[in-house]
Amino acid sequence: MAVIAYLFNTAISIYTFIIFASVIMSWLIAFNVINRHNQFVDAVWRFCLAATEPVLRPIRNALPNLGGIDISPLILLIGLQALQIGVNRYIFAPMLARGL
């Protein structure tokens, strides 16, 4: 069971990193610091969008219009942390305490 808990927490950590990378890349692209015509940058950007947009889109649709401010990644990060804490505390901790 400890392996499953480790894999779950690692997956949440990797997805958090992808969200941060997506947000930072969107800022860098918006301010023309990096260029999407570069093949590597475009590949990383498309991967980040493919990994985050399906989860961020429903959050964006549920939030009111805040102008140019997009807080959906922040809401997603808070939700992921809440999910991680809840699963660790209420699912994995009792199972590990019983020795499963």
C-alpha 95 chain-centroid distance: 27
Under 8 Å between Cβ of 87 and 7: no
Residues in the chain: 100
CA neighbor of 48 nearest in space, from 72, 78, 15, 94: 15
**pTM confidence score:** 0.91
Q: Looking at residue 100, what is its pLDDT?
A: 64
Q: Would you write out the chain's pLDDT as a tens digit for each of its 100 residues? A: 889 999 999 999 999 999 999 999 999 999 999 999 999 999 999 999 999 999 999 999 999 988 889 999 999 999 999 999 999 999 999 988 887 6
Under 8 Å between Cβ of 41 and 99: no
C-alpha 48 chain-centroid distance: 10
Taking the CA atoms of 28, 32, 33 and 39 in sequence, report the sign of the dihedral they define: positive
Q: Which two tokens stand for residue 69?
A: 């401010």
